[in-house]
Structure 1
Amino acid sequence: MSRLEERYRFILRLLPADYRQEWEDDMVAAFLESMDTGDPETTAYAADYGWPSMSEVASIVSLAVRLRLGGADAPPRSYAWGQAVRLATLMAMLTHAVMVTASIAVTLWLSGKFAWLPTPASEWAITPPSSIWHTAWHLAGYAWLPAYIALVLGHRRVAQAVALLAIVPTTITTVVAQATSDGPLTVSPWAALFIDVALLLAMTAFHHEAPPVPRRPWLLALPIGILLVPVPLFTIQATTPALRLLDWPGLSCAAVTAAMVIHLAVRASRRPSRTLPWSLALTLLAVTTLAQRTATLPDYRHQVQHATLTTIASVQAIAVLAVGVPLAVLAIRALRQLPPIPAAAPRPVTSTE
């Protein structure tokens, strides 16, 4: 076996084992044939030092996503995981869209645009951007709203492109701020960026074989979410100083914990197979939220109220674990009861150059 074949077979490990057992040899034969240039010396050199092209790797990754996060015709377990990732992605995107939409209204209020509302306290005053470029840079974060709408409407690539507009400026700002700051490095902005990048990659689960997103409920969830979460939350935090100790990871822990409690209550009256994708999706969100909460704990070391903040954060993490672990156990049990019946495996398409 040549080094080139070893490298190609290593990349093929991304595919499910059942699929590899049926198609791996054919895929390897087709790939090696495509690398044969007709020149013995060039072919021998490629066999020792060549690597699969980026387009070849991309096609394998795309196939692996479609197989592991399957659509309606996929095996039950693959379909359950696919739906779970899609639901978790939609919920995370909805959260972004809700918060940025509410922040637009809050910014207008703080700027005095809503004369009929009470005047905000002086401590909530905002500093206007110094230039039009700073304004555009700040508005880039609002791209999560059109990205969410595009994803719900079935335009996955558009959603990814628009979400990238929100991620890139934030990344540059974080790098510059961390590099030029005299204070200690903080984990919170990097954890948030990591989650946003993971969210961008998770959108690949909305491939052409995935079932379409139910538009009406997910579009209605946007205004409902704004009325139920950020508006009362901001009002309470503005009037209750103690609640200002809750940061974004803490609010995420509270929201995910509440969602899991509601889901467990609803799950008790329904068949586990029907609620399994939601159980898995909430478990994924719980793991992500818990990881973010844990990773950001060191940021409290240099704050005046670090003991209080650490205690609050620990309670939040314990709450996520207390509800998330039983939910994860129930989800895994229900997943194991599904038959791992492989669907008719699609014939692989190997790119040739």
Structure 2
Amino acid sequence: MSSDVLEKRYRMLLRAYPAGYRRERADELVDTLIGDEPTDRRWPSLREAASLIRGALRVHGGSTAARPTAVLLWQGIHLGAMAVLALGVLIGLDDLVEAFQFGGFSDPLTVLRNQGVHEVMVIAALAALVAGRTRTAAVLAVAAAVVPTVISPYLFLNGLPQWWAPVVATPLILVGLWRPADVPPTPRANAVLVTAGILALHLIPAGGFRRVDMSSQVVAATMVIVGIVAFLWVATADQRLLIAVAPTLLLGTLHQLGNDMSTGELLRRPDALPSLAVAVLIAGGAVVSTRLRQRTRA
């Protein structure tokens, strides 16, 4: 009876794998994990559970594909476009709420003209991309950078991160139109989950330590460390995240460059990082790691 319970719990963990992989390998994996000897265990060990989840992340990242590097690059680019648009939406919503909190209700039309039109158009571009309408998403992303700026140059003149979101996303979406036929598209549910993970990374309270007391600094620093470690644990298994997160890291840097062209100031400020160089190194490291793993497997 205990082996039946253990098998059921192993199979629950295996649901983290793509459906096709489960159909082909689930029985083999369960037999290997349980073994031939009778056991009284009712739960997988923490090490086994972590290994299964990490293995599922690798499979989602294309490790079992015929061309894992191609899957990494093309799906990573698609996920990067989604993530940067989603981050632009998140920043824009935060700024809209703040604008209305601090006097925006006295002149709501100005707030909507300055920020609302852009927010709606970026949301539309993101929705089209999630729905798989890549060409429509490309048109909407270009429009989100141009039309709101014509209506009101507020976001452009201030170089706000949400204005940069469609600008950064547009070339990624256009490049994605040339995805090779033998590289499968990113499953929608997986793409949404990856995007949510990248947004969670950006919600870590990494800034403003100097403005709070020591105990709050310790709590915030702990959250930063735990959040980054968790993200890296996932991203080093599913390395598409390392490609996808790179363009989102550029939004803050582009905003700072727009407000202060001094690279010295940019490098002195901890919230200015990751910079373009860091983003490129992250993406490059993911590609090199995948190619080395592919050679080892061959």
Name the TM-score, length of structure 1 as normaliser.
Answer: 0.44
Partner of 2:188: 215
In structure 2, distance between residues paired with 1:261 and 1:326:
18
Query: Are residues 1:292 and 2:263 paired?
Result: no
Evaluate the alpha carbon distance shift between residue 171 and residue 86 of structure 1 in structure 2; reply closer, same or farther with a 3 A threshold.
same
Partner of 1:198: 168
Query: Are residues 1:333 and 2:296 paired?
Result: no
Evaluate the alpha carbon distance shift between residue 217 and residue 75 of structure 1 in structure 2; reply closer, same or farther with a 3 A threshold.
closer
| Structure 2 residue identity aligned to 1:159 | A
- Displacement of 1:127 in angstroms is 6.5
- Displacement of 1:222 in angstroms is 8.4
Partner of 1:18: none
Q: Deviations over 1:266-294 (max 9, x none)?
A: 356x4xxxx222223334544x3575266
Partner of 2:118: 141
Query: Are residues 1:79 and 2:71 paired?
Result: yes
Partner of 1:165: 143
- Is the contact made by 1:160 and 1:200 (CA closer than 8 Å) also made in structure 2? yes
Match of 1:264 among 232, 235, 240: 232
Larger Rg: 1
- Identity between Structure 1 and Structure 2 (%): 16
Query: Any residues of structure 2 matched to 1:21-40 within 5 Å, and which?
Result: none
Q: Deviations over 1:220-276 (max 9, x none)?
A: 78899999977x98xx99xx9959xxxxxxxxxxxx9997643323356x4xxxx22
In structure 1, distance between residues paired with 2:155 and 2:80:
31
- Is the contact made by 2:124 and 2:140 (CA closer than 8 Å) also made in structure 1? yes
Evaluate the alpha carbon distance shift between residue 205 and residue 211 of structure 1 in structure 2; reply closer, same or farther with a 3 A threshold.
farther
Partner of 2:12: none
Segments of structure 2 that go 5 or more residues without pairing to the other structure are 1-63, 213-223
Evaluate the alpha carbon distance shift between residue 204 and residue 260 of structure 1 in structure 2; reply closer, same or farther with a 3 A threshold.
farther
In structure 2, distance between residues paired with 1:258 and 1:292:
27
Evaluate the alpha carbon distance shift between residue 194 and residue 285 of structure 1 in structure 2; reply closer, same or farther with a 3 A threshold.
closer
- Displacement of 1:139 in angstroms is 2.8
Partner of 2:241: 278
| Structure 2 residue identity aligned to 1:278 | L
- Displacement of 1:145 in angstroms is 1.4
Deviates more, 1:153-162 or 1:213-222: 213-222
Segments of structure 1 that go 5 or more residues without pairing to the other structure are 1-71, 111-123, 179-185, 244-255, 302-306, 341-353
Name the TM-score, length of structure 2 as normaliser.
Answer: 0.50
Evaluate the alpha carbon distance shift between residue 161 and residue 74 of structure 1 in structure 2; reply closer, same or farther with a 3 A threshold.
farther
